[in-house]
Structure 1
């Protein structure tokens, strides 16, 4: 499934992004500052 996560650099957004990636979903992260997403699972930013 393709999922877009708004606020992916925040606490809840990051947790959701990790869970979705572990479940095998294709994720797109929408963030204000891509640098804050360092170390996140493979996602299109």
Structure 2
């Protein structure tokens, strides 16, 4: 997924893996806990 785009959203994970919001969030949290990705929040 990161080969095609530098940043991904929860929705990107849901669509790519065919999972719901809760599962996508859990997967992202697991990957984040392993320091494989970093969370970035754009501030207004």
TM-score (norm 1): 0.42
The structure richer in helix per residue is 2
Q: Which has the higher contact order (CA 8 A, sep 6+)?
A: 1
The structure that has the greater radius of gyration is 2
The structure richer in strand per residue is 1
TM-score (norm 2): 0.43
